[in-house]
Amino acid sequence: MPVNCAVILAAGEGKRMKSQKAKVLQEVLFKPMLDWVIDAVHAAGIEQIYVVTGHNREQVEAHVQGRVTTVYQAQQLGTGHAVMQAAPMLERHRGANCLVLYGDAPLFSAATLQAAGAHHEENHLAATVITAFTTDPTGYGRIVRDGNGLIQAIVEDKDASEEQKRISEINGGAYWFSVDALLPALAALRSNNAQEEYYLTDVPYSMNFKGQKVGAYVAPFAETAGANDRYQLFKLNEAARKAILTNHMNAGVSIPCRDGVMIGPDVTIGQDTQILPGTILRGRCVIGRGCVIGPGSVLTDSTVGDECVVNQSQLTQTTLEAGVTVGPFAHLRPGTHALERVHIGDFVEVKNSTVGAGTKLPHLSYIGDSDVGAGVNCGCGTVTANYDGRRKFRTKIGDGCFVGCHTCLVAPVSLGEGAYTAAGSVVTDDVPGGALAVARSRQQVKPGWADERRALTEEKDGQKGK
């Protein structure tokens, strides 16, 4: 049974981005454009994906490694030439269909790709071009239809006559091809055009010339938008941002003000959660119901349970169970796992640590590489000294411990269940459960010392004055 496949073109230089980074790796809502395209193709049910690389080949290949098959285009001689490089792979898909997409147009939905594929199959077409109508077609290939409503040709902007330039239906840059019809058409491509390139857009013309049917599937123009420069990238970000925020609102998320709110495409949010201004949710975040996130919070690849609060804080690869409150001004780094009802307050940093249910880390603390039990109270300024300059060590704080203010726990070290430490202690040895550790020098009080010193200095000052 022949299997459908997809070819994504990602070899172009993208000069107008003025960047060290490959154009297709430029991000929309913190996700590289190429990943949007790959994910849409997967979501449309296509598993075999070929990505054509060229400029910045190493970067692009490293980025997609293990997820797709790459094909190298040594010289960028045009979009048709790029697809030609995948011809040996396409041989394996004879009898099936191939979806061709450009890596710099990230907003196609899986639904549109699938619907266009269904249109292609139902009408037994040699090719189906996803097109769109726009009031400003400048820069795009124009769609020339024949008397039967089929596509006769695609004319590139640079090759178009004045009359053709007025056509408002454009080539969206996504195509379904019958592989059996595509392979000979690619082999016959020539570069006799304004840019001296092998245009993929010449394939429909040659098919139509041979009497093969090329159809159009009209999609919303917003889905076809691409980015060749930073301003267009900004416009893609804005369009994607507004669409995503609207989808969340329609699903019961409260966003009273959109200012500075950016939510990536792979974030899920439960009902009745409120997202406040200046909040960025990036990567794969999962946010529960009834939370308040923001203002001014940045969450990356993190999971937040129901009824949590994250105020003016940053979370990366962190998991919060239900009812956790964070902030203001906390920094939760990779590997933080806070269990139910934990409170992490202002100027607290946690890294690679588990914090047990109901535990409080209210102020000015660093907890790194630690296992903190349930019902612990860490006083202001509790610090774990987890690093000796060469290696990292763990700290264990048992259930129900009370860590006095400004305790320094020098790892590896453990506090047994219910232990106390005296304020200002530097704890270097394990403390058994139920014990108190006092690890500081004893206070001395010198009666009258201050008065005597003051009298002495006043006497000296008096002598200088004379």
Where in the sequence numbering do the catalytic residues fall? 363
Residue among 193 and 428 whose Cβ is closer to ligand UD1: 193
Residue among 154 and 342 whose Cβ is closer to ligand UD1: 154
Among 70, 73, 318, 425, contact with ligand UD1 (rule: CB under 6 A): 73
Q: Which of residues 164-183 bind ligand UD1 (CB under 6 A)?
A: 170-171, 173
Among 5, 6, 7, 11, contact with ligand UD1 (rule: CB under 6 A): 11
- Closest listed residue to residue 24, CA positions, set 48, 46, 54, 3: 54
Largest pairwise CA distance in the chain = 115
Q: Which of residues 208-237 bind Ca ion (CB under 5 A)?
A: 226
CB 89 within 8 Å of CB 71: yes
Query: Does residue 82 interact with ligand UD1 by CB under 6 A?
Result: yes
Judged by beta carbon distances under 5 to 8 A according to partner kind, the member of ligand UD1, Ca ion, none in contact with residue 276 is none
Q: Which of residues 66-105 bind Ca ion (CB under 5 A)?
A: 104
- Distance, CA of 243 to CA of 30 (rounded, Å): 15
Contacts of 88 (CB under 8 A, 6+ apart): none
Query: Does residue 77 interact with ligand UD1 by CB under 6 A?
Result: yes
Residue among 161 and 441 whose Cβ is closer to ligand UD1: 161
Q: Which of residues 197-216 bind ligand UD1 (CB under 6 A)?
A: 199-201
Query: Does residue 311 interact with ligand UD1 by CB under 6 A?
Result: no
Kindly state the DSSP code that residue 260 receives in the 8-state scheme: T
- Closest listed residue to residue 87, CA positions, set 52, 130, 44: 52
Judged by beta carbon distances under 5 to 8 A according to partner kind, the member of Ca ion, ligand UD1, none in contact with residue 354 is none
Judged by beta carbon distances under 5 to 8 A according to partner kind, the member of ligand UD1, Ca ion, none in contact with residue 200 is ligand UD1
Cβ 51 to ligand UD1, closest distance in Å? 9
Q: What is the DSSP string of 4-45?
A: -EEEEEE----GGG--SS-GGGSEETTEEHHHHHHHHHHHTT
Kindly state the DSSP code that residue 429 receives in the 8-state scheme: S
- Distance, CA of 112 to CA of 176 (rounded, Å): 12
Contacts of 415 (CB under 8 A, 6+ apart): 396, 397, 398, 401, 403, 409, 421, 427, 430, 431, 437
Residue among 125 and 174 whose Cβ is closer to Ca ion: 174
Judged by beta carbon distances under 5 to 8 A according to partner kind, the member of ligand UD1, Ca ion, none in contact with residue 236 is none
Q: What is the DSSP string of 292-333?
A: EE-SS-EEES-EE-TT-EE-S-EEESEEE-TT-EE-SS-EE-
Residue among 173 and 379 whose Cβ is closer to ligand UD1: 173
Contacts of 439 (CB under 8 A, 6+ apart): 421, 422, 425, 426, 427, 428
- Closest listed residue to residue 160, CA positions, set 171, 150, 149: 171
Among 154, 179, 293, 367, contact with ligand UD1 (rule: CB under 6 A): 154
User: Which residue lies nearest Ca ion, judged by its C-beta?
Assistant: 226
For 187, phi and psi rounded to 5 degrees?
-65, -25
Strands 426-427 and 151-155, how do they pair? unpaired
Among 26, 56, 79, 425, contact with ligand UD1 (rule: CB under 6 A): 79
Residue among 26 and 302 whose Cβ is closer to ligand UD1: 26
Judged by beta carbon distances under 5 to 8 A according to partner kind, the member of ligand UD1, Ca ion, none in contact with residue 201 is ligand UD1
Judged by beta carbon distances under 5 to 8 A according to partner kind, the member of Ca ion, ligand UD1, none in contact with residue 285 is none
Binding mask 100-139 for Ca ion (x = CB under 5 A): ----x-----------------------------------
Among 32, 215, 226, 416, contact with ligand UD1 (rule: CB under 6 A): 226
SS3 sequence of 333-382:
CCCEEECCCCEEEEEEEEECCEECCCCEEEEEEEEECEEECCCCEECCCC
Judged by beta carbon distances under 5 to 8 A according to partner kind, the member of ligand UD1, Ca ion, none in contact with residue 342 is none
Among 4, 6, 7, 12, contact with ligand UD1 (rule: CB under 6 A): 12
Query: Does residue 99 interact with ligand UD1 by CB under 6 A?
Result: no
Among 26, 97, 103, 151, contact with ligand UD1 (rule: CB under 6 A): 103
CB 103 within 8 Å of CB 38: no
> Where does this chain touch ligand UD1 (CB under 6 A) — which range of 121-129, 193-201, 263-271, 276-284?
193-201
Q: What is the torsional sign of CA 111, 117, 121, 124?
A: positive
Determine the angle formed by the axes of helices 57-64 and 33-43, rounding to 10 degrees: 40
For 410, phi and psi rounded to 5 degrees?
-90, 105
**Site for ligand UD1, rule CB under 6 A:** 9-12, 52, 54, 73, 76-79, 81-82, 102-105, 140-141, 154, 156, 170-171, 173, 199-201, 226
